[in-house]
Amino acid sequence: MPGIPSQILAGDVYVITPGTGPYSINDSLAQNLSAQTWAQIVSPEIFSLGTLRSAPVVIRGVDPVVFLRMEDVVGGPPSHLTIPWALAGSGLASRLGLASGQELTLVGSSVSRLDVVPLAGTYRATTAADDELLVDYATARFLTGVGSGVYHSIRVETSQPAALVAFLAARGASAHVAGPGGSVGPVNSAPLPTDPRVINLFLRYGLGRLPLDYVAEGVTEASNSVQVVAWGLEVFVLLMVALGIHAVQARAFADRRATVGVLRSLGAPATWVRLRALGELAPLAAAAGLLGSVLGFLGAAVLTPSAAIVAFGHEVRVALDPVSLLSVAAAVFLVSLLSELVLLQGALRERPSVSIRGTAARESPPSLEVVLRD
Amino acid sequence: MGRPVLRLATRINRRTRWTAWAIALACMVLVGSLSLVDGLGAGVDSVTARFSAGPTVYLHGDDLLLSAIDENALTAIPTDYAVLRAHMGTLAVNGLTLQVVAASLTTYHAGNATVPFPAGPQDLAIDTGLRHEIENASGLAPGATANLTLFGLPAQSLSVAAAPSARPAFLPDTWAWVRADFLLGLSPSQGGPAQAVVTPAPLNAALVARLGLSPLQTVGAIGFTQASIAEARSVLLGLGGVLAVIIGLLAYNAIGLEVHLRKEEIRTLRSLGAPSSTVAAVYEGKALVLALLGATLGSALGVVVAHGIVSFAPLLGFPNLIFLPLPLVPVALAFALALGAAALGGLVPARRAMGLVRPSREARPS
């Protein structure tokens, strides 16, 4: 989920967005880029955020042949596309029940617009584009208010990002370039601010003008924001799981509290008791962590796509990521060991006789005197 | 008897304290998660708030062409408004056959209807974009007449009129315009109902609901954000449902154990003359007290942890656009869920407590 904004904008290729200088993301730049030998595919694009049948949808104005080639879509677009046309990714089509020949009601992005566009077909992609709607440039310009001959971004598939940056610098184009590994850097443009608090104040209070290169800044902030929310949710879930584990272990430990007292009365040092308890627990905790991670992954895979989470119009896909699985297992393992140490510490602080008899654990019930006194 | 009931219900011991903590944890997760999502929504709203909203469009449903609105019912609208009809049709002109949207616009000013264009009932106003398309494809300006096919009926020959001079800016210039009475005459059942109502400002929500209309956000970025945040909220509300079940079980377990351990005390109370309803009130009250404590503590923790995450994220290299609002709705939801679930969870043990009585001397075996 955290990577969705940058996946939408760039995917696995390099994306050129406007810089702080004069607007340079235009037809001329796209044509010159297409003529370079190091640029395998060049796709100028116009973005429109909208709704379709009340669901959020990313609408992209593209050259369908170029775009679908960049997204490795087998078969390409339908032949004889007549303007206006729309093509829907298979994920979006199945979610919203779209079929070729239907008329789609589309709305504007940052300006008020309403249009009806026929759906000419669908395509299947393995990228974020599978959840998007493609339209012709004229429709995209109408929906976004973007003028003739200019675009929001140009995506370039190349193995030589340095050549791309050098080309832009030589041409005097003001742009930001970002790629699969993150930002490549500004070209003839001021760098992105490292602290966006001033821009955020503008946004919050509606004062001042946003910078010209807000697209790059906005995508970075959107990615960060989604990432922070996703991690925040993870922190909350981790806290819940940690205290759940502690509660279960506390219940199990209550039955074995007397054993600690027996061991202590037989002269076992506290460190030995701790190591022995951890030694007993570690294999169980590791196995439980791994089993839980695998069950969680399998559960998510089984529930997808019928119960898939859709964020910002894109389905959050379940990926078999060994690092994530092992991280979850490691977190469960550590929480379990820490919980055991906390519980042991409490038992070790008691006198062995108290642990054995369990007298302290027995609570003296408050008598009825509170009632009788009244 | 109210005061003793309250004092007994608010007795907190080690067991019930842990239950209150567990409820607090569940509420913290709910309040914190919803706060973060609301904060993201508020941040993105701050960007979209800079967009001009434009006129408000109301449909019946969410698809323009499938919408059908009874124009006679619209007289209840107190302000000026416009009625839009739109249908897919086939236009034959200059030897070309094109799929077009055939639309009509009727404006209402102080209750008086005006059709701004075209002038005659058999006129067809071809808009500028569509006109250019025809010129580009045929090499000629549109001819004097054109055939328009609508609703699967035979083609109608119409006079081509000038492009509309005052089309609303939010509509495209690729539509063909006819008068509403032409559509009505062609097919009262299909051409009669309107597809959209356009007002300069949002209407009263109650009136909109009474008319069976839904607003269509024509500035998509606003609708996109709202719908995306609504999706995330619905997922978290599902989590809220799960948490409610957990809270209910926690309350059931804690109160059930209390009733079990205090059997003798309950019997003494009953033999002192306490009615069964008082005993039930003590244990149902205890469940509610635990939920209240848990929800209060959990809400506070959720707010603090959410603020902590957002505040520390920039220090870890994640400057963000999350503006955490005052989480009134999440807190209210947490309280409602906790109290509701605990009340339900405490119901069974409280009823069990009602049935506990000291056996009478005569009933005891000798």
Chain B nearest C-alpha distance from A310 (Å) = 7
**Does the CB of A346 have a partner CB in chain B at under 8 Å?**
no
pLDDT digits (tens, 9 = 90+) for A209-238: 555 555 555 666 666 777 777 777 778 788
**Does the CB of A251 have a partner CB in chain B at under 8 Å?**
no
Q: What is the mean pLDDT of chain A?
A: 80
Do B178 and B148 form a contact (C-beta atoms < 8 A)?
yes
CA atoms of B352 and B354, how far apart (whole Å): 5
Q: What percent of chain B clears pLDDT 70, i.e. is strictly above it? A: 93
Q: Is A64 exposed, middle or buried (0-12, 13-18, 19+ CB in 10 A)?
A: buried
pLDDT digits (tens, 9 = 90+) for A324-365: 788 888 988 999 999 999 888 888 887 777 777 765 545 555
Beta bridge partners of B156: B148
Domain boundaries, chain A: 4-222, 255-357
**Does the CB of B128 have a partner CB in chain A at under 8 Å?**
no
Structure tokens at A198: 């001033």
Q: Is B111 exposed, middle or buried (0-12, 13-18, 19+ CB in 10 A)?
A: exposed
CA atoms of A45 and A9, how far apart (whole Å): 10
Residues of A in contact with B18 (CB under 8 A): 247
pLDDT digits (tens, 9 = 90+) for A124-168: 988 888 889 999 999 999 988 888 888 988 999 888 888 988 998
Kindly report whether the global pTM for this prediction surpasses the value 0.90.
no
pLDDT digits (tens, 9 = 90+) for B63-87: 888 999 988 888 888 889 999 999 9
Contact B53 A112 (CB under 8 A): yes
CA atoms of B312 and B169, how far apart (whole Å): 45
| Cα–chain center distance at B49 | 19
Beta bridge partners of B102: B87, B176
Name the A residues in 172-231 with CB < 8 Å from any B CB: 194-197, 200, 203-204, 206, 210, 218, 220-222, 224-229, 231
* pLDDT top residue among A195 and B242: B242
Residues whose CB is less than 8 angstroms from the CB of residue A344 and which lie 6 or more positions away in sequence, other chains included = A253, A260, A273, A274, A277
pLDDT digits (tens, 9 = 90+) for A293-312: 888 888 877 776 666 667 77
> CA dihedral in degrees (B273, B279, B280, B286; nearest 10)?
160
Chain A nearest C-alpha distance from B63 (Å) = 6
Do A301 and A278 form a contact (C-beta atoms < 8 A)?
no
> CA dihedral in degrees (B235, B239, B241, B247; nearest 10)?
-170
In this prediction, residues A268-272 reach a mean pLDDT of: 87
**Residue in B with minimal Cα distance to A55:** B227
Do B36 and B309 form a contact (C-beta atoms < 8 A)?
yes
Here the ipTM equals 0.71
**Does the CB of A232 have a partner CB in chain B at under 8 Å?**
yes
Kindly tell me if the per-residue pLDDT of A86 is higher than 90.
yes
